[in-house]
């Protein structure tokens, strides 16, 4: 359950339950059920409460307990609560009642919120007292401060907050008929407030329009975030007396709650939950309605509501904005729906949906990053939420410089009409100069890389490093000559364990190799260097793309040498059955190798061992690995790789003793080689890419066997 990526989870299950389809089926069923178990228990308890109520309804009146005093209406206007006198009720909701109150001996008024009956007052107030100590350090013009807390004489907890006189932010935008930029500017102030709170270690947990009010301060409209910390104080732990007093009740509004809030019940909530709620608030400000209808969600029941919030995406804001308001289900936006929707389509749709990503690691990670993207939108700059393209950048440039672009276009047209051929020649000359400058830069970059390769051959690594920083490797045009430069640089970086740089060099080398002879490339060492470099650098995606390209380019193989290279390159990590099937002919070519033909028997045996292990034929994998070890190996890397395959195959066959024995030999061999490393780099014996393959297989074997 701790593996969120579906592909990685599937691969893990394939490895763990290989040869045990019933076990895998049972585990997949458990994983499916795990997602709905919490909702199942909540609904069960809710149903128990309903049955209890039905029994009470059927009891005779003389057997009924005395009715409890209703929770609402206990405190009235004019009553005193602690140091505060209630003036008038200004609000009421699911969380309780809000009064305007005045503090004894002071002229200022405050908002006093009395939490509804049914909460465990001792735990609620104690939790809030601890939270209030954190909230006291927050000083921000867009955050309404929480001033005090306590309990009424009836035992209900109350909170005293700064009184904000103004409507909720959505009502304010509708009343003032604000356009899109004005709504975003107002929302940016909310982001600043949330960022300030997050920096102080405080998570709101209940961001929604009702908790963001807009008041007029000296002629300026200032949004104020209220109820900071109250959601956390009310929620508390989910067990003991600190939990919910009524099963099925939760703190928050479903339409604005992040998937982890409804899924985890508040057990693993961080600042990214507020980012989701900010996205839902922005959705409503731009689309005219919330992303989900709270009433409909509650009518669905806990299980279906949870599924919708975790799995379903709301429609795009631009699609909702196009719905006419008079239909009763549309938006409350000013102006023509089509024009408003066109303004939202694209960047703002991307920004909203990035903030509301179901997977929190893919959301904006801070309120500042969300605010920065919105500021980019207001300045007609590219936003990070959208996948960039050349046309997108050009369109943004035109929007930022509309007047200058139009004036330039008019002048260009007049020049073309007025000067004709002269203008065409001028632009042709300018184009040639630009191309000349580009070629000069490209030549300089290529010369720098060539000089760096020379410096490396002379042992001047520091000089080569400084030289390479002058120009990007990507500025060099792909060519057979460039392939050799990148080959040298990649090999040098790999020898010293700089895998990110090595992978980048080999990536450029392979682009240049597309112009070369595929037979020479497959029979050489380019592919043998590239594949392990990607995995050592931790770039699994690049390796899989590389594997697919090699299969397309080099199949079918023509001899055992090509087949052996391709098998090793493509099977460093587990492969799908379709990939293994495509390699069947290459494996057969290794088996049929005859002396005198291109191919190396000992390496053929290793490649066949890898192939059979990936196929699940562990006995044959052990036979081929033993055959590989029977050949003399001065470097030791080939035998070490074979022992990794024997250890994993023995583990699969239930022979833990042999698996451990081979793992110990592999690690001893790696330790021996590493002890010989000096300033010349890695490895001192054998080839670095063969040892890289050993390390990759050893990591897989360690993870599989637990040894």
**546 token code pair:** 């590389």
- Given a contact cutoff of 8 angstroms between Cβ atoms, the answer to whether 666 and 643 are in contact is yes
Closest CA to 707 of 654, 662, 642: 662
Helix (H/G/I), strand (E/B), else coil: 681:
strand
User: For residue 103, how many other CB atoms are within 10 A of its CB?
Assistant: 17
Dist CA 485 CA 624 (whole Å)? 37
- Given a contact cutoff of 8 angstroms between Cβ atoms, the answer to whether 609 and 628 are in contact is yes
User: For residue 268, how many other CB atoms are within 10 A of its CB?
Assistant: 11
Q: Which helix (H) or strand (E) holds 89?
A: strand 84-93
Dist CA 449 CA 501 (whole Å)? 14
- Given a contact cutoff of 8 angstroms between Cβ atoms, the answer to whether 519 and 563 are in contact is no
Using CB atoms within 10 A of its CB, is residue 679 exposed (0-12), middle (13-18) or buried (19+)? exposed
Q: Which helix (H) or strand (E) holds 614?
A: helix 601-615
Phi-psi map region of 167: left, alpha, beta (phi>0 left; psi -120 to 50 alpha):
beta
What are the residues facing 115 on neighbouring strands?
96
- Given a contact cutoff of 8 angstroms between Cβ atoms, the answer to whether 97 and 113 are in contact is yes
User: For residue 250, how many other CB atoms are within 10 A of its CB?
Assistant: 18
DSSP string, 206-236: --SGGGEEEEEETTEEEEEE--TTHHHHHH-
Long-range CB contact pairs, 301-306, < 8 A, 24+ = 301/43, 302/39, 302/42, 302/43, 302/46, 302/248, 303/36, 303/39, 303/40, 303/43, 305/254, 305/262, 306/36, 306/38, 306/39, 306/262, 306/263
- Given a contact cutoff of 8 angstroms between Cβ atoms, the answer to whether 491 and 506 are in contact is no
Q: What sign does the CA torsion over 520, 526, 530, 532 have?
A: positive
Which alpha helices (DSSP H) does 380-460 contain, by range? 390-400, 402-419, 421-457
- Given a contact cutoff of 8 angstroms between Cβ atoms, the answer to whether 209 and 170 are in contact is yes
**125 token code pair:** 């107030």
Closest CA to 169 of 228, 211, 141: 211
User: For residue 499, how many other CB atoms are within 10 A of its CB?
Assistant: 19
Q: Which residue has the tokens 């000013």?
A: 334
What are the residues facing 502 on neighbouring strands?
none
Give the pairing of strands 157-162 and 109-115: antiparallel
Give the pairing of strands 80-81 and 84-93: antiparallel
- Given a contact cutoff of 8 angstroms between Cβ atoms, the answer to whether 49 and 247 are in contact is yes
Dist CA 16 CA 571 (whole Å)? 18
Dist CA 352 CA 374 (whole Å)? 10
Dist CA 503 CA 508 (whole Å)? 9
The alpha carbon of 254 is separated from its chain's Cα centroid by a whole number of angstroms, namely 22
Dist CA 329 CA 225 (whole Å)? 28
Q: Which residues are catalytic?
A: 206
Query: Does 113 count as an annotated binding residue?
Result: yes
Residues 6+ apart with CB under 8 A from 627: 605
**587 token code pair:** 């494996």
Q: Which residues are annotated as a binding site?
A: 113
Q: Which residues are annotated as a binding site for ATP?
A: 113
């Amino acid at each position: 359950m701790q593996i969120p990526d579906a592909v990685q989870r599937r691969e893990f299950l394939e490895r763990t339950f290989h040869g045990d389809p019933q076990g895998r089926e049972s585990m997949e069923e458990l994983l499916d059920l795990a997602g709905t178990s919490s909702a199942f228990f909540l609904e069960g308890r809710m149903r128990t409460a309903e049955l209890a109520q039905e029994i009470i309804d059927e009891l005779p009146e003389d057997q009924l307990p005395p009715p409890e005093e209703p929770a609402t209406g206990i405190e009235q206007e004019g009553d005193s609560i602690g140091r505060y006198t209630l003036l008038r009720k200004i609000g009421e909701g699911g969380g309780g009642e809000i009064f305007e109150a005045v503090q004894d001996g002071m002229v200022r008024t405050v908002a006093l919120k009395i939490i509804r009956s049914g909460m465990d007052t001792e735990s609620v107030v104690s939790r809030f007292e601890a939270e209030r100590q954190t909230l006291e350090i927050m000083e921000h013009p867009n955050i309404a401060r929480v001033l005090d807390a306590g309990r009424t004489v009836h035992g209900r907890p109350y909170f005293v907050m700064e009184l904000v006189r103004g409507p909720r932010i959505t009502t304010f935008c509708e009343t003032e008929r604000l356009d899109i930029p004005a709504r975003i500017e107002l929302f940016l102030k909310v982001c600043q407030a949330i960022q300030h709170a997050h920096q102080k270690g405080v998570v709101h947990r209940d961001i929604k329009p009702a908790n963001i009010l807009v008041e007029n301060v000296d002629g300026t409209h200032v949004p104020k975030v209220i109820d900071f910390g109250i959601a956390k104080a009310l929620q508390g732990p989910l067990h003991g007396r600190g939990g919910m007093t009524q099963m099925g009740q939760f703190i928050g509004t479903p339409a604005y709650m992040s998937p982890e809030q409804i899924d985890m019940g508040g057990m693993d909530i961080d600042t990214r939950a507020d980012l989701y709620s900010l996205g839902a608030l922005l959705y409503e400000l731009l689309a005219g309605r919330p992303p989900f209808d709270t009433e409909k969600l509650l009518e669905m029941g806990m299980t279906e509501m949870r599924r919708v919030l975790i799995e379903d995406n709301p429609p795009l804001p631009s699609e909702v904005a196009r719905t006419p308001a008079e239909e009763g289900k549309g938006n409350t936006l000013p102006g023509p729906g089509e024009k408003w929707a066109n303004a939202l389509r694209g960047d703002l749709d991307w920004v909203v949906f990035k903030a509301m990503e179901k997977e929190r690691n893919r959301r904006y990670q801070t309120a500042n990053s969300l605010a920065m993207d919105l500021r980019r939108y207001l300045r007609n700059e590219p936003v990070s939420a959208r996948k960039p393209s050349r046309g997108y950048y050009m369109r943004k440039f035109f929007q930022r410089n509309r007047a200058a672009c139009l004036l330039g276009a008019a002048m260009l047209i007049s020049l073309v009409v007025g000067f004709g051929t002269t203008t065409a020649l001028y632009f042709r000359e300018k184009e040639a100069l630009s191309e000349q400058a580009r070629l000069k830069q490209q030549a300089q970059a290529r010369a720098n890389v060539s000089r760096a390769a020379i410096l490396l051959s002379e042992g001047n690594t520091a000089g080569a490093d400084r030289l390479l920083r002058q120009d990007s490797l990507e500025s060099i045009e792909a060519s057979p000559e460039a392939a050799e430069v990148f080959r040298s640089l990649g090999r040098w970086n790999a020898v010293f364990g700089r895998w990110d740089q090595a992978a980048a060099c080999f990536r450029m080398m392979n682009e240049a190799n597309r112009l070369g002879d595929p037979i020479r490339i497959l029979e050489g060492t380019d592919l043998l260097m590239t594949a392990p470099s990607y995995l050592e650098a931790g770039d699994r995606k690049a390796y899989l793309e590389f594997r697919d390209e090699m299969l397309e380019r080099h199949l079918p193989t023509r001899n055992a040498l090509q087949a052996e290279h391709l098998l090793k390159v493509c099977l460093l990590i587990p492969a799908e059955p379709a990939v293994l099937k495509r390699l069947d002919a290459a494996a057969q070519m290794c088996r049929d190798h005859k002396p005198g033909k291109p191919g190396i028997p000992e390496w053929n045996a290793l490649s066949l061992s890898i192939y059979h292990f990936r196929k699940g034929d562990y006995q044959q994998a052990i036979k081929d690995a033993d055959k590989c070890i029977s050949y003399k190996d001065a470097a030791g890397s080939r035998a070490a790789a074979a022992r990794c395959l024997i250890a994993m195959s023995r583990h699969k066959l239930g022979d833990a003793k042999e698996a451990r024995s081979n793992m110990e030999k592999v690690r001893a061999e790696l330790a021996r080689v590493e002890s010989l490393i000096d300033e010349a780099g890695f490895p001192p014996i054998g080839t670095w890419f063969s040892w890289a393959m050993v390390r990759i297989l050893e990591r897989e074997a360690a993870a599989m066997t637990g040894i």
